[in-house]
Each structure stands twice: as structure tokens, then as C-alpha cells.
Amino acid sequence: MSGVGKKVADVAFKASKSIDWDGMAKMIVTDEARKEFSSLRRAFEEVNSTLQTKFSQEPEPIDWEYYRKGLGSRIVDSYKEYYESVEIPKFVDKTTPEYKPKFDALLVELKEAEQKSLKESERLEKEIAEVQELKKKLSTMTADEYFEKHPELKKKFDDEIRNDYWGY
């Protein structure tokens, strides 16, 4: 197996182990997104499987003697010489070092955005609970009970009454 092919297969295998497919699936809310996600996962697994099977096997050695019998030794020796002189250049990754800091910065930004989102979600859930509670009590609630929960509105109305401002 060529060194580059083996490296590609190893990287793909490691990448597949580090992906939290179930965690990502839990975050998806729409049916269309679920379909797209399962399609992405299936495509990824097909490519990964192909890489594992295709690049993880060593190529079968060439039976030079078999070809010598059919073609003659001079031409086969020539091909063998050319075959053995081929050197596959070693892959040198110049892209990853360039983009790694940018990617790491984006990961930090992502974590910060996630924390903000979680805090905002928590705040909104509390607000929803308060509104639902208020909705249940609204038909039997008195103005005094409402103003107990919202003293700023009581102050505003009291100021308007004191200043003889009746809204028109």
C-alpha cells in the first residue's frame, strides 16, 4: 500500500471515531434536517468504508515470471526496471498548519456562542414558565396581585395618576 493511501485511510478512520453522530442527531429538530443528516451520515460511512477497504490492503505483488513466459524477458525486464524506479512522493501537509489556528479560534468562538445560547435559552424558558403561570391566574387575579409581581408598572401608573396624565 502506498504511504499516502494508508495515511488517508487512517485519518478517515480516526475522524469517524471522533464524530458524535448521536449527539448531533439529538440537536436536529425538523424532519427535513433529519433526512439530510442521515443522508450525510450514510455518505460519510460509505466513503469511510471505501477508504478502509481500498487503501488498507497491500497490492498483490506482480508475477514477473508469468509475464516473461508470454511476452519475453527483454520487455518484462524493461517494465520491471521502470516499475521499480517509480518513487511516489511523500505527502507533505502544508495546509493544516496554516488553517489550524483559524480553526481553533473558531472553536473557541463556537464554545462562547454555545454558552450564550444556553444562558439565553434558560432565560427564555423561565420567561415562558412565568407567562404560562400568569395566563392561568389572569382570570382570577386582582390588580394588587399583578402589581405585586410588577412593581415598576405600579410605580408608572401611580406617577401618571399623580401627574394627572390619563393616557389621552
Question: Cell numbers of 148, please?
Answer: 405585586
Q: Which three cell numbers stand for residue 154?
A: 405600579
Render pLDDT for 110-119 as a digit per residue (tens, 0 to 9).
999 999 999 9
Contacts of 3 by beta carbon, 8 Å cutoff, 6+ apart: 88, 90, 91
Q: Rounded to 5 degrees, what angle do the CA atoms 15, 105, 97 make?
A: 60
**pLDDT value for 108:** 93
Q: Do residues 160 and 166 touch, judged by C-beta distance below 8 A?
A: yes
| Tally of CB atoms within 10 A around 9 | 20
Cα distance between residue 111 and residue 18, in whole Å: 18
Kindly report the pTM of this predicted structure.
0.38
Amino acid at position 126, single letter: K
> Which band of pLDDT confidence, cut at 50, 70 and 90, is reported for residue 27?
confident
Report d(CA 71, CA 63) in Å as an integer.
13
Q: Which of 17, 20, 78, 81 is CA-nearest to residue 52? A: 17
Mind listing the pLDDT tens digit for each residue in 41-89? 899 888 888 877 776 677 788 889 998 888 888 999 999 999 989 888 8
- Angle 37-38-42 from CA coordinates, rounded to 5°: 120
Residue with cell 487512517: 10
